[in-house]
């Protein structure tokens, strides 16, 4: 594809506008569309819409297109497997792509000893499997999650989710026995602590409040945590938070479940974000980037934990052979080159964002690892008043200039480009961000 961006029509263009009108009539209105992008094709980190406009992609289908749009090696793996067979249900039968992928997952997940994998179709299914597995293994029925978390929208994972009340509104009652603790966000500590003590005080809330006043520790099956909060605002917890959380769960006989649906698969420069901390979970859920856009979710666990009997949990389409083939090609690319690229280009891009922070008072915080970067916008750096409307305007303004971004949390811009992103593309993204943030600061538009 030619170099992006290249905007040729007003947005949305005529073909895009026509398709959006059809969508409004026939598609569920529950989907959250931030701006009127109608994709026709993509290649690498570039997207073309139906009117021929070219965009630089820093969204990657919500961190899904890890290897970029239609990577030729992934496409070949998909086509080759599709020629053999499309489906045979790994729930009832056997096929080599699923077994081989389980072997590969056992090698890359940061779980000690032998590992087994359950295959689903999505992140929320991977989390649901993790919850059921934790309850089955421990014979306990309560769970602890964190405020600001996002674990999915099916009822079990939704009960753990607490990033936005809108996601839960109208669907109660939630799954019983779920308790929420504050997540260690040192930029705006939820318990009012100083940055140097935020992690300890947030975990003290579990020990001194939840486990004293609400639920006995011997009745908690697991604590579910995102090593980096995704929808909550791309929040990276401070050093010591996950390490002490591991100690807490071990002390009380709880499982530690790492939700790496968004942060996993090389995005942070490691295969999984929790590997930056040296912590080993008992169970790990991931999806999104694992198959470069094909539907696949996994729940991986210590073999001792994943010892449930036949029929305890299953999925007709989970571990589809075509998705497994895409995942195997994805893993190969991640290990060969893309994790390293995520680390290098992500570090370069973060330095650029920190430079923009010095220039623009609207930027309150820059955070993240690898190509999982967040920019939190505030109206005042002292009060940290959230610049929510400004964030939305900047995301829309970037789209109009040909840069695809997404929001996260109430007032954060997330940058999660494909892991094939180059330094030159990072420079282009930084230039557009500089322009649209400057325009917002000067004119409020």
Q: Does domain 72-334 fall into CATH 3.40.640.10?
A: yes
pLDDT at 129: 98
Tokens of 244: 């002490």
- Portion of the chain with pLDDT greater than 70, in percent: 99
Please report, for the chain, the start and end positions of each structural domain, with discontinuous segments joined by +: 14-71+337-443, 72-334
pLDDT, residue 199, reads 85
pLDDT at 190: 84
Q: Residue ranges of the chain with pLDDT lower than 70? A: 193
Confidence (pLDDT) at 164: 85
- In this structure, the strands spanning 297-302 and 115-120 are antiparallel
CATH number among 3.40.190.10, 3.50.50.60, 3.90.1150.10, 3.40.640.10, domain 14-71+337-443: 3.90.1150.10
**What distance lies between CA 150 and its chain's CA centroid?**
9
């Amino acid at each position: 594809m030619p170099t992006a961006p290249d905007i040729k029509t007003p947005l949305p263009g005529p073909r895009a506008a026509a398709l959006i009108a059809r969508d409004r009539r026939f598609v569920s209105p529950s989907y959250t569309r931030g701006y009127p992008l109608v994709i026709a094709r993509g290649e690498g980190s570039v997207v073309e819409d139906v009117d021929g406009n070219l965009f630089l992609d820093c969204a990657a289908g919500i961190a899904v297109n890890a290897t970029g749009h239609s990577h030729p090696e992934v496409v070949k793996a998909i086509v080759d497997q599709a020629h053999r067979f499309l489906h045979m249900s790994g729930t009832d039968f056997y096929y080599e792509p699923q077994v081989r992928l389980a072997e590969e997952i056992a090698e890359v997940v940061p779980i000690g000893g032998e590992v087994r994998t359950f295959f689903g179709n999505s992140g929320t299914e991977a989390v649901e499997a993790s919850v059921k597995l934790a309850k089955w293994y421990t014979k306990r029925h309560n769970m602890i999650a964190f405020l600001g978390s996002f674990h999915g929208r099916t009822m079990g994972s939704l009960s753990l989710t607490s990033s936005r009340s809108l996601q839960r509104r109208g669907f109660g009652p939630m799954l019983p026995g779920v308790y929420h603790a504050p997540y260690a966000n040192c930029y705006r500590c939820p318990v009012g602590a100083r940055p140097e003590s935020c992690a300890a005080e947030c975990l003290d809330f579990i020990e001194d409040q939840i486990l004293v006043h609400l639920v006995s520790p011997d009745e908690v099956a697991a604590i579910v945590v995102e090593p980096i909060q995704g929808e909550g605002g791309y929040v990276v917890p401070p050093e010591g938070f996950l390490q002490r959380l591991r100690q807490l769960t071990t002390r009380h006989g709880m499982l530690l479940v790492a939700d790496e649906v968004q942060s996993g698969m090389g995005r942070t420069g490691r295969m999984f974000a929790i590997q930056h901390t040296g912590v080993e979970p008992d169970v790990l859920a991931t999806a999104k980037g694992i198959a470069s856009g094909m539907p696949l979710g996994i729940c991986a666990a210590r073999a001792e934990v994943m010892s449930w009997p036949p029929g305890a949990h299953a999925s007709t389409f989970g571990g589809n052979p075509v998705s497994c083939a895409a995942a195997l090609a994805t893993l190969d690319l991640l290990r060969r080159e893309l994790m390293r690229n995520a680390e290098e280009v992500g570090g370069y891009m973060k330095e650029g964002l920190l430079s923009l922070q010095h220039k623009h008072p609207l930027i309150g915080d820059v955070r993240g690892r690898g190509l999982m970067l967040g920019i939190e916008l505030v109206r005042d750096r002292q009060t940290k008043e959230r610049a929510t409307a400004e964030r939305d305007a900047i995301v829309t303004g970037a789209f109009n200039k040909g840069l695809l971004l997404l929001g996260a949390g109430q007032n954060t811009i997330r940058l999660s480009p494909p892991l094939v992103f180059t330094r030159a593309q990072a420079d282009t993204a930084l230039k557009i961000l500089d322009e649209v943030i400057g325009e917002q600061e000067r004119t409020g538009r």
